Chain A
Amino acid sequence: MSGIGATHIDHIVISSNNAAVVAETFQRNLGLEIKRTMTRPGTGAQLAFAKLQEVVLEFAGPPQPDPSAEVKARLWGLVLTVTDIAAAVERLRTLGYDVGEPKPAVQPGALIATVKSGTCGVPFALIQYNAIPTATPGVSA
C-alpha cells in the first residue's frame, strides 16, 4: 500500500456554540438539506448532518446552547474513510505519526482512530465502516 487506503472524505466537522442554528443557516443560505439530527451518546452534544454525495457535513454544538449568545462557528476537523483501519494506523505509526488506538465510533459497526500529529492543526481521524460485526435485528444465534 503506497498510502493508507483512504477512499474519500467521510465527514467535515463544523463546530459551534449552537449546532441547530448553524445547520439552519447553511440550509437557508446554501440549500443543503439537513438529513438528521441527534444527541451524541455520553456527551449530550447536539449534532445535525447534511450530505453532498459521499461527504457528510456534521454540525456540532453543546448540549444546551445559550439562546442569547451570538452564534459562532468554525470549520473544525476532518475524517477520512479507509478500507483497513488497522493497516492505516500501522503505516502512520511506522512513519512516526502519533495515532490513537481504533475504537468503536458512533456509527454502528465502525471503528475510528484519531491522528494526533502531522495534520497541520486539523483535528483529524480515520474511520472504517463495517469493521465490527453488528447484530442483525430479528436474527438470533
Chain B
Amino acid sequence: MLTKIHHVGIVVHSADEALKFYRDALGLPVTADKVIEDQGVRGVLLQIGNSEIELLEPTRDDTGVARFLANRGEGMHHICFESDDVAKELEAARDKGIELIDQAPRVGLAGMICFLHPKSNHGVLVEFATPIPGQHEH
C-alpha cells in the first residue's frame, strides 16, 4: 500500500545553484547529499513536512537524467510514493500488466526503490520507495 508522497524529483543543471533557492531561501533542511556513481547523478534530498524534494544533477552525459536535462531542461522529473514493501508494490504492478523499468527493487537514495515505465502513466515517471532505517535522517 502506498502511504505517502516520499519525494518529488527535480532535474537541475547544478545542485549547488538549486540549493540557493531550495535550502537557503526556502529554508528546507538537507537530509541527504550523495553522488550515485552507477546512475551518474548527484542527488540531494530536502525535507518538507512528511515529504522531500530531490534535486538531481547529472554527473555524466550518458544517463536518463542527463538526457532529460538536454531534451527538456530543468524541471520536475518523477514522483516517488512510499510503501512499506516496495517488492510487493512491484509485484502488484507487474500483475496489473504495468510496464516496469526495474524488474527488482534496488538501492537508491530514498531506500529500496523501483521505477515504473512512464508509458504506463501517460508519460509520468513513477518511483516506489521503502526507506531503509538509518539510511538518512527522515
Contact = CB atoms under 8 A, between A and B. Distances in A.
Interface in A69-110: 71-78, 80-81, 91-92, 95, 97
A1 B27 contact: yes
The residue among A4, A30, A31 with the most chain B CB atoms within 10 A of its own CB is A30
A4 to B, nearest CB: 5
A interface bracket (residues with beta carbon within 8 Å of B): 35 or more
Contacts of B116: 29
Contacts of B124: 14, 22, 73-75
B74 to A, nearest CB: 3
Q: Main secondary structure on chain B at its contact with chain A?
A: mixed
Nearest to B89: A30
Q: Main secondary structure on chain A at its contact with chain B?
A: mixed
Nearest to B55: A120
A80 B98 contact: no
A9 interface: yes
Interface stretch (B2-10, B59-67, B129-137): B2-10
| 3 closest A-B pairs by CB | A3-B27, A8-B49, A121-B74
Interface of B: 1-5, 8, 10, 12-13, 17-18, 20-21, 24-28, 48-51, 53, 55, 73-79, 81, 93, 96, 98, 116, 120-126
Interface of A: 1-9, 12, 14, 16, 21-22, 25-26, 28-32, 52-55, 57, 71-78, 80-81, 91-92, 95, 97, 118-122
